[in-house]
Amino acid sequence: MAFVITEACIHEKAADCADVCPVDCIEEGEDQFYIDADICIDCGACEAACPVAAIYYEDELPEDQKIYMQKAEEFYRIK
Ligand code: SF4
Ligand code: SF4
């Protein structure tokens, strides 16, 4: 399990989430930031820091945002 960055992050540039992540597992992609689920320790710091509430715990992802979990997996798979 891990946290997931969703649609509200697209084209946001202020990486408050990455600044607070204790394990440095948030990276900028082409149009949004991504969390590396293999490294995330589920601390929740990023969720609290995001000004647009783009970050959800995997289990609490709204149905229409589940695609962003797959998008993150793909980002790290081809990296
Ligand atoms: S939950 Fe914690 S470890 Fe995981 S991405 Fe957010 S800040 Fe980093
Ligand atoms: S703080 Fe929120 S909006 Fe900003 S980069 Fe992180 S997830 Fe995206």
Q: Per residue in 3-28, pLDDT tens?
A: 999 999 999 999 999 999 999 999 99
Ligand 1: distance of its center to the CA of 2 in Å?
8
Indicate which residue's Cα is closest to atom 2 of ligand 1: 43
Both tokens of residue 46?
């990023």
Ligand 2, atom nearest to 12 Cα: 3
Both tokens of residue 45?
């710091």
Q: Per residue in 28-64, pLDDT tens?
A: 999 999 999 999 999 999 999 999 999 999 999 999 9
CA separation for the pair 12, 31 (Å, rounded)? 8
Ligand 2, atom nearest to 49 Cα: 1
CA separation for the pair 16, 26 (Å, rounded)? 10
In order of their start, the domains of the chain are 3-78 (3.30.70.20)
63 contacts: CB under 8 Å, gap ≥ 6: none
Q: Is the pTM of this model over 0.85?
A: yes
Indicate which residue's Cα is closest to atom 3 of ligand 2: 9
Indicate which residue's Cα is closest to atom 4 of ligand 2: 15
13 contacts: CB under 8 Å, gap ≥ 6: none
